Amino acid sequence: MPLVTSEKMLLDAQKGGYAVGAFNVENMEMVKAVLAAAEELKAPVMLQTTPGTIKYGTVETYAAIVKAEAEKVSVPVCLHLDHGNSFELAVQAMKAGYTSVMIDGSHEDFENNIAITKKVVDVAKAIGIPVEAELGKVGGKEDDLEADADTNTDPMEAKEFAERTGISSLAVAIGTAHGFYVGTPVLDKPRVSAIKEVVSVPLVLHGASGLSEEDVRECVERGMCKVNFATELRAAYTAAVKKLLEEKPETYDPKKLGNVGMAAVKEQVKIRMKMCGCDGKAE
């Protein structure tokens, strides 16, 4: 089916008490794998690209691939710009066909984050594109952006931020980190409930790769409506390719490498969709 925006699928998740899985894709094979999982489980799904991924390809390339593959499935599919790092990139993505964008001003102070975010929202709303923003700092590294320390989101600041910017969804910091965790993450899960009490827009959990099933499920139960997965998909793809080359070092056909990578990513996506509770929720 044609690409849809993230607005309805996240509001449906908010009402239904589940979360939409949002999966970062790096190439055609990962796009096909995520969509195959969504189709099999009848789950709404968001595919995402970061600025780093866009440097590898272009917004036009990824928009074309996702649009072509989404038309082959029966479930709602949204193409989202993850961690958009500038107003210009957000606009470029929207023009290319992205149906949802994130502007990440979390590295700025509160007022500057509001100003940057509202600038994107004003353009996006005029053409019906929802905007995700981030308040607080998620630790770890996403592309070239690295947070030195975690700064969890203040609920009342989140309320003010959402009201002043007009965003459609809000990524909040509760102790998660981008990339793989060193040790066991300690999440401030009650903070999700506290933010949900005062913020009306759907909440987003970043840095979910490596979180336990218990952590993911509890965060969703407390109010997370979108959960991002990236690093673990890259790792699954790469591990499958390495395994094939170890077992059959004579392999030279990229299609064979792609096939094992796709299979691994598809299975990981299915696991996470079930944890988020979005399986069976596609209309």
206 is in an annotated binding site: yes
CB within 8 A of 246, min separation 6: which ones?
A: none
209 is in an annotated binding site: yes
- CB of 226 closer than 8 Å to CB of 45: no
**Catalytic choice (12, 82, 154, 279):** 82
The number of residues making up the chain comes to: 283
The annotation status of 104 as a binding-site residue, yes or no, is yes
Is 70 part of any known ligand binding site? Answer: no
Pairwise CA distance, residues 129 & 5, whole Å: 7
- DSSP strand pairing (139-142 vs 177-178): parallel
Evaluate the CA torsion angle 188, 192, 193, 199 in order and state its sign.
Answer: positive
Report the distance separating Cα 24 and Cα 199, nearest Å.
26
Question: Residue 280 annotated as binding?
Answer: no
> Any binding-site annotation on 231?
yes
Amino acid at 112: N
82 among known catalytic residues: yes
Annotated ligand binding at 109? The verdict is no
Q: Is 80 marked within a binding site?
A: no
Residues annotated within a binding site for Zn(2+)? 83, 104, 134, 178, 206
Which residues are documented as binding site for dihydroxyacetone phosphate? 179, 207-209, 228-231
The residues assigned a catalytic role are 82
- Please report, in range form, the residues annotated as the binding site: 83, 104, 134, 178-179, 206-209, 228-231
